[in-house]
Chain A
Amino acid sequence: MNALILSAVLGVIMMFSGILLKQKSAVRGVAITGLAALLLVNILELRGIHFFKIDVAGMMYFDRFALLFISIALFATLVYFILSAKDMEKVGADYAEYFALIFFIICGIILVASFKSLLILFLGIEIISIPLYILTGADKRNLKGNEGSLKYFLMGAFSTGLMLMGIALIYGAAGTFDVEKMKFAIETPAVLPVTGMLLLLFSMSFKVSAAPFHFWTPDVYDGAPTVFTSFMATVVKAAVFIGFIRLFDETFGTFQVKWQMWLAVIAAVTLFIGNITAVFQQSVKRMLAYSSIAQAGFMLLAVYAMNTSAKEGILLYAAAYSLATIGIFSVLNKLNDYTFEGFNGLAKQQPVVAGALTIFLLSLAGIPLTAGFLAKFFMLKSVIDTGTGLWLVIFAVLMAAVSVYYYFRVIQAMYFKEGKADITVTGRFKWALVTIAALIIILGTFPNILINWLYF
């Protein structure tokens, strides 16, 4: 609750700072300070200090899981601001408004992570989506960005319609929006809740870009300004996954048999399409878009399994994936050439940047000692714990092996190819990158420092 109210207020503050502050660096300072305050306030709530006493009528519930995820999301956003906020200046003239929209998105993320009522879920998803449509088209002179924005808007509006229809059907069946009060019969689920559940499943799969609903992803991620792609593909995606898990755990937990097979198929198809298509990409930005689809397939395994290790794993996965991807995108921002050739000879010119980048890529590929390995391990373990779906585990491991190919292509370009990478970085940027790389390795060796926050 602390973070929710503060983030809405900060959004308004950012709008005013655009008028009052003349210098862009001052605006950036306000945003970074505000976000740090947000993180602090949220961690205070995690330790049991509440600033606001508001009767939410049981519509939101801030448990440890939600609060810890919000902390991870806020931390990832803070890292994103520190690394890439300067690059937002290149997008357009409305610098402060971009920050305002991002703070509103954070508001939506908090809602999605803590909903107890389908009404709040819907509001949260909308508050996330609408600013994203705008940020995608923020660079108005770029035709590809405009195309991506329009595509995203039309498809997103359609999937929101499906979601609303699903919620309406479930309301018709249960007579309430409240997740706690819904009681569906286990043996013979009626037509209404099952139809509603399927509609919700499809619309949530669209929002996390799972396989048969992924067609918007490459165009939107490729067309959007690179700074905003970085935010969209990481923090936002992880947040929608948390909503996905909560929805299917709490609302439809009773008839898991009905949807488990659907989810297994969606996860397998997502893994297959994401990984195989990423192999054929020539642009690193587009490759990362497909790789984000592939990573979504891995995260879907947690929704499939739905047990304790799945819940611990998804938090670790969110942290590992967000940090690594934000790091890669921040380097990509500094480059002018987005193809694989753009990375040629980076290791000779900037050994520190190339080293950090290598760690990020290894983490995404899931090589041991990095956080990405343990995250993937938790996902697979959670599926094995359910006792079913061994084929899914084998398939996922196979696909992870395929993913090594395209991540290593970047490393190969950096270290073993001659060329002149066009890049200039500041000393502070290098320090930030190294810190994140160290953090990924620490998380990979001692995951308990994150997971223990769930229980104390």
Chain B
Amino acid sequence: MALFGAMMVITSKNPVYSVLWLILTFFSISGHYILLNAQFLAIVNIIVYAGAIMVLFLFVIMLMNLNHTAEPKKNRWVKLAGVVAGGCLLLVLVAALKDTEIKQQTAEVATGGIGLIKNLGKELFSTYVVPFEISSILFLSAMVGAVLIGKKD
């Protein structure tokens, strides 16, 4: 279903449909995460990507008001070059994945408890509590900055 959704994203003529198919893809990827026992990642994936970022995408596309006439004509050589470049990337990725040592460990589906929210929270508030608190300074300074920039003179 993820593959089907991804294919539909690039084959749809209308960009709005593409975004909708992309949402479907994200949901099915979240399904994969749940199968891998990573609940937290699955939920965050839906909230952040399917929720927030896709809404932004839709807004931008609707504001830009894309239609068929606006699409620039590409010549055949550009398309060919795109196919060759994409194919090369695929080749490199497959070759790299083939050689990794992680292959033996992938059988650990639905057994490891590392992705459960309970364990994540324990780690976050015991070992990683200092970086967690420090990141609050980061967000505070970002907020001050946003107000400073956005304020009227």
Residues of chain A at the chain B interface (Cβ within 8 Å)? 8, 11-12, 15, 54, 56-57, 59-60, 92-94, 97, 100-101, 104, 107, 111, 117, 119-120, 123, 126-127, 130-131, 133-134, 137-138, 140-141
Chain B residues with CB under 8 Å of A119's CB are 128, 131
Task: List residues of chain A with CB within 8 A of the CB of B141.
Answer: 11, 101, 104, 127, 130-131
From 120 to 153 in chain B, residues with beta carbon under 8 angstroms from any chain A beta carbon are: 127-128, 130-131, 134-135, 137-138, 140-142, 144-145, 147-149, 151, 153
11 cross-chain CB contacts under 8 A: A11-B141, A56-B130, A57-B127, A57-B130, A59-B130, A97-B144, A100-B144, A104-B140, A123-B135, A134-B144, A134-B149
Nearest residue (CB) in B for A131 is B141
Contacts A8-B137, A101-B144, A127-B137 given: A137-B149 contact, CB under 8 Å?
Answer: yes
**In the complex, which residues of chain B have a beta carbon less than 8 angstroms from the beta carbon of A133?**
145
Per the bound structure, the CA–CA distance linking A363 and B152 in Å amounts to 42
Cβ A140 vs Cβ B127 within 8 A: no
**CB-CB under 8 A for A123 and B138, given A57-B127, A92-B153:** yes
Whether A126 contacts B145 by the Cβ 8 Å rule is no
A110 to chain B, nearest CB (A): 10
Cα(A104)–Cα(B136), bound, Å? 11
A101: chain B residues within 8 A (beta carbon): 141, 144-145, 148
Complex CA–CA separation, A107 to B134 (angstroms):
9
**Contact for A15 among B130, B144, B151, B153, CB less than 8 A:** B144
Residue of A nearest to B130 (CB): A56
Complex Cα–Cα for A370 and B46 (A): 60
B23-67 at interface with A (beta carbon < 8 Å) = none
CB distance from A173 to the nearest CB of B (A): 11
Chain A residue with the shortest CB-CB distance to B142? A130
Main secondary structure, interface of B, reads: helix
Question: Which residues of A are found within 8 Å of B149, using beta-carbon distances?
Answer: 134, 137, 140
A130 engages B130 (CB within 8 Å) = no
Q: In the complex, what's the smallest C-beta–C-beta distance from A350 to chain B, in angstroms?
A: 33
- Please tell me which one of the listed residues B127, B137, B148 contacts residue A97 in the complex, with CB atoms under 8 A apart: B148
> Are B144 and A60 in contact, CB atoms less than 8 angstroms apart?
no
Q: Which A residue's beta carbon lies closest to that of B151?
A: A94
What A residues does B153 contact at CB under 8 A?
A: 92-93, 140-141
Beyond A8-B137, A134-B144, A134-B145, 20 additional pairs, beta carbon < 8 A: A54-B130, A57-B127, A94-B151, A97-B144, A100-B144, A101-B144, A104-B137, A104-B144, A107-B137, A117-B131, A119-B128, A123-B135, A123-B138, A126-B138, A127-B137, A127-B141, A130-B138, A134-B148, A137-B149, A141-B153
- Which of chain B's residues has its CB closest to A105's CB? B141
Contacts of A120 in B (CB 8 A): 130-131, 134
Whether B145 lies near A130 (C-beta < 8 A) is yes
Complex formed: what's the CA distance from A56 to B130 in Å?
A: 6
| B140 partner residues in chain A, CB cutoff 8 A | 11-12, 104
A101 and B144 CA atoms in complex are apart in Å by: 8
Minimum C-beta distance from A180 to chain B (A):
15
B144 to chain A, nearest CB (A): 6
**What distance in Å separates the Cβ of B47 from its nearest Cβ neighbour in chain A?**
21
What residues of B have a CB within 8 angstroms of the CB of A117 in the complex? Answer: 131
Q: Pick the most buried of A11, A59, A127: most chain B CB atoms within 10 A of its CB.
A: A127
Closest to A126 in B: B138
Cβ distance A89 to chain B, nearest Cβ, rounded Å: 14
Which B residues lie within 8 Å of A140 (CB)?
Answer: 149, 153
Using an 8 Å CB-CB cutoff, how does the interface string of B97-131 with A read, 1 for contact, 0 for none? Answer: 00000000000000000000000000000011011
With a cutoff of 8 Å between Cβ atoms, the chain A residues found around residue B144 in the complex are 15, 97, 100-101, 104, 131, 134
In the docked arrangement, what's the CA distance between A93 and B142, Å?
Answer: 19
Q: Which of A59, A104, A107 contacts B131 (CB 8 A)?
A: A59
Q: How far is the CB of A115 from chain B (nearest CB, A)?
A: 10
Bound-complex Cα distance A8 to B153 (A): 27
Complex: A392 Cα to B117 Cα, angstroms: 53
Report chain B residues within 8 Å CB of A15: 144
CB-nearest residue of chain B relative to A137?
A: B149
Contact of A123 among B134, B142, B148 (CB under 8 A): B134
In the bound complex, CA of A57 to CA of B134 (Å): 14
Q: How far is the CB of A404 from chain B (nearest CB, A)?
A: 40
Closest Cβ–Cβ distance, residue A18 to chain B (whole Å)? 10
Residues from chain A with Cβ under 8 Å of B138 in the complex: 123, 126-127, 130
Residue pair A138, B148 in contact (C-beta under 8 Å): yes
Q: How far is the CB of A168 from chain B (nearest CB, A)?
A: 14
Within the complex, the shortest CB–CB distance from B86 to chain A, in Å, comes to 21
CA distance A107 to B142 in the complex (A): 14
Bound Cα distance from A104 to B140, whole angstroms = 9
Q: How far is the CB of A374 from chain B (nearest CB, A)?
A: 36
A12 to B139, CA, bound (A): 13
* Residues of A contacting B147 in the complex (Cβ-Cβ under 8 angstroms): 97
Q: Would B134 and A111 count as touching, CB distance under 8 A?
A: yes
